[in-house]
Amino acid sequence: MKKFYDKILFAVALLLLAGSLAYYFVGSPSGPAGSALGSKPTGPAYESVPAPEQTQAGSTDWPEVTPVDENPNRVYQVFTPPKIYWDPVAGVLTWDAPYINGGPKKPPFGLILTSVNRELFRIQFEAYFESDDGNFDHAIVQFFNHENRETIRGSVGDKFPAQDFEIVSFKVERKVIEREGSTEIFRYPTVVINDTRSGEQLTLTTAERLYVPDQFEVNMATTKPYPPETFTWTQVGDKKRFDDAEFTLVEFNFDNQSATVEKTPFATEDGTTPEPETKILYPVKTTPEPKPEEKTQPSTSKSDSAVAEGFESFFN
């Protein structure tokens, strides 16, 4: 309780000190401000100065905008600088020039990449459990079936007719990797299975997943000036046609999550055919338009209890 009163007295003392200083510098006739206001002005009388006459400066011929170097896209204009972004595949800065000399702006590309997906093989190697005798043929190997969401365990030689595969062999290798003066040692397990559906032998590891060969999905979405639409390409060379251009999937990279798309515009009304445009696209997340009731949320004011708690915390 004593600390509580000490804080109150300290706050009152600060208020009295602030009031005294304000009165001395602002309100007191004998203070610095009061003495300055009470003195009579001195100096020569004010003389009016005539305003200078305005003269016409004339027009200025600005030089034509030229690229900074041999790159034609590296152009700087007032209020229209080039768009610069990092290309992680090429490892260079990529430039998109603004429109030049008052000409028409370059139309937007019109497509974005949302994701690049590959189809997982139905059986994936998850873990293993060594046997007491150290024989890899007696170790327990664990798999996961993505078709029926089921975990399977077995040893070398076991067959699983319901899962359409059998375990052929299993081993664990010891690998050593030298990196910047340090040595990394790890165990690399591999299991070979016989896929009875395709008749192929496949090697599975825990270090990376196994994907179905030549099975992938490149998910795309349109942007302005095209109406909203999503579609999927499943192989290189797939096309998407619009009224003014045709898009072609040139290639894709699953590791870098990128897709190279070529846009071929059609001939315009005057008979000219614009040059094709090729872009490397990277995934862009599309966010749905919020509902009208979600756009504006009323602000909630603090309750009286919250204000009281804040005041109480100041003195405790």
Which pLDDT band holds residue 203 (cuts at 50, 70, 90)? very high
Phi/psi region, residue 102 (left: phi>0; alpha: psi -120 to 50; beta: rest), is left
**Cβ atoms of residues 237 and 249 within 8 Å:** yes
Non-local CB neighbours of 169 within 8 Å, separated by 6+ positions? 156, 191, 192
Closest CA to 282 of 304, 255, 243, 313: 255
Long-range contacts of 7-12 (CB under 8 A, 24+ apart): 7/315, 8/315
In the predicted model, is pLDDT for residue 206 greater than 60? Answer: yes
What pLDDT, in 10s, does the model give residues 87-141? 665 667 777 777 655 555 677 889 999 999 888 899 999 999 988 888 889 999 9
Long-range contacts of 25-30 (CB under 8 A, 24+ apart): none
Task: Decide which of 140 and 36 is more confident.
Answer: 140
The model carries a pTM of 0.48
Non-local CB neighbours of 21 within 8 Å, separated by 6+ positions? none
Q: What is the pLDDT of residue 142?
A: 94
What pLDDT, in 10s, does the model give residues 239-294? 999 988 999 999 988 888 899 999 999 887 777 777 899 999 998 865 555 544 54
Q: What is the pLDDT of residue 153?
A: 94
Which pLDDT band holds residue 173 (cuts at 50, 70, 90)? confident
Which pLDDT band holds residue 177 (cuts at 50, 70, 90)? confident
What pLDDT, in 10s, does the model give residues 8-29? 888 878 888 887 777 766 655 5
Q: What is the pLDDT of residue 315?
A: 41
Q: What is the pLDDT of residue 305?
A: 43
Q: What is the pLDDT of residue 111?
A: 92
Query: Exposed, middle or buried by CB within 10 Å (0-12, 13-18, 19+), for 23?
Result: exposed
Residue type (1 letter), 26: V
Tell me how far CA of residue 49 lies from CA of 41, 46, 52, 234, 255, in angstroms: 21, 10, 9, 80, 75
* CA dist., res. 68 & res. 178, Å (int): 45
Return the DSSP state at 3: H
Residue boundaries of the structural domains of the chain: 2-32, 67-106, 120-211, 214-281
* CA dist., res. 218 & res. 50, Å (int): 74
* CA dist., res. 168 & res. 36, Å (int): 102
